[in-house]
Amino acid sequence: MTATRADDLLPGSHRWAVLRDGAAAAMERAYAPYSHFRVGAALLGSDGSVAQGCNVENACYPAGICAERAAVATAVSRGVREFQAIVICTEADVPTPPCGICRQVLMEFAPELVVLSVTRSGAEAQWTLSDLLPKAFTPTSLGRR
């Protein structure tokens, strides 16, 4: 995909459809034998790239990783560090926001990230990351140059 223009992210745009489809596809690959709560994420880079992620659980429960952080790891591994939006897909009845750890990880790279959560039944909720994690601890909080 080419770089993202502001109007690419208007509701109903092709870009949102691609991200929704990507998050739903990633959810199908979730490894969630313990919670049975499958999550998929599609993270839009400022260069137009899309990195997908799914939750990957583990018999040692805390070793599992969320879909959003898996998507960040994929994108950063490819050299992408600026993001514009993330779509999260679950099978829950209502759209679920990212967990606190994922909010913090996303905040490192994209304080103004648009977060869209969708369900298989078509319900949607949208936030900005700064709404979800106000007064965040960020790289500038370290006071380093």
Q: Are 45 and 75 in contact (CB under 8 A)?
A: yes
Which residues sit at the interface with ligand THU, rule CB under 6 A?
32, 35, 37, 39, 55, 57, 64, 66-68, 98-99, 102
* Least separation in angstroms between CB 55 and ligand THU: 3
Comparison of 66 and 129: residue with beta carbon closer to ligand THU:
66
Q: How far is CA 133 from CA 50, 101, 105, 107, 111, in A?
A: 23, 10, 11, 8, 9
Q: What is the 3-state secondary structure (H, E, C) of 49-63?
A: CEEEEECECCCCHHH
* Least separation in angstroms between CB 96 and ligand THU: 6
* Least separation in angstroms between CB 119 and ligand THU: 14
Residues with a catalytic annotation lie at 68
